[in-house]
Amino acid sequence: MNFQLNLDTETVEHAHLSVATCVQPETTLRDLLVTLKEDRRGAALICEHGRLVGIITERDVLRLMAAGHMDLDGAVGSVMVRDPVTLARTDTVGKAISVMSEGGYRRIPIVDDQKRPVGMLKVSSVLHYLVEHFPQVVYTLPPTPDHATQKREGA
Amino acid sequence: MTICPHCGFENIEGVDECAECRHSLADTEEHVPATEVERALMHDQIAVLASRPAITVPPETPIRDVLRLLVEKEIGCVVITRDGKLAGIFSERDALMKLNVQADELGDEPVSRFMTPDPQALSYNHKVAFAVQRMDQGSFRHVPIVTDDQTVTAIISARDIMHYLTEKMRQGGAEL
Number of neighbouring beta carbons within 10 Å of residue B134: 19
For A:81-120, CB contacts with B below 8 A are 94-95, 97-98, 100-102, 104, 106
pLDDT grade for B23, boundaries at 50, 70 and 90: confident
* pLDDT > 70? residue A56: yes
- Total domains present in chain A: 1
pLDDT at A145: 46
CATH at residue A32: 3.10.580.10
The beta-carbon neighbor of A5 closest among B30, B38, B139 is B38
pLDDT at B30: 56
CB contact under 8 A, B35 and A149: no
pLDDT at B114: 97
Contacts of B93 (CB under 8 A, 6+ apart): A42, A58, B141
pLDDT grade for B42, boundaries at 50, 70 and 90: confident
Q: Is the dihedral angle over the CA atoms A110, A113, A117, A118 positive or is it negative?
A: negative
The beta-carbon neighbor of A141 closest among B6, B93, B139 is B6
* pLDDT > 50? residue B170: yes
Residue A56, in any domain of the structure = yes
The beta-carbon neighbor of B6 closest among A63, A100, A148 is A148
Model pLDDT for residues B135-152, shown as the tens digit of each residue: 988 888 999 999 988 899
Model pLDDT for residues A75-123, shown as the tens digit of each residue: 999 999 999 999 999 999 999 999 999 998 999 999 999 999 999 999 9
Kindly state the average pLDDT of the residues A137-154.
Answer: 49
Model pLDDT for residues B88-132, shown as the tens digit of each residue: 999 999 999 999 999 999 999 999 999 999 999 999 888 888 888
On the 0-12 / 13-18 / 19+ scale of CB atoms within 10 A, B103 is buried
Chain A touched by B67 (CB under 8 Å): yes
- This prediction has a pTM of 0.82
For B:71-130, CB contacts with A below 8 A are 71, 76, 92-93, 95-97, 99-101, 103-104, 107, 123, 125-127, 129-130
pLDDT at B5: 66
Q: What is the ipTM of this complex?
A: 0.82
Instruction: Write down the H helix ranges in chain B.
Output: 36-43, 63-72, 92-94, 128-138, 158-171
Mutate to test the interface with A, among B16, B136, B157 (most CBs of A within 10 A): B136
Select from A75, A78, A79, A84 the least CA-distant residue to A51. Answer: A84
Cα separation of A133 and B87, whole Å? 34
Structural domain boundaries enclosing A58 = 12-134
Distance from CA of A38 to the nearest CA of B (A): 9
CB contact under 8 A, A3 and B35: yes
CB contact under 8 A, A65 and B31: no
Distance from CA of B96 to the nearest CA of A (A): 6
* pLDDT > 60? residue B158: yes
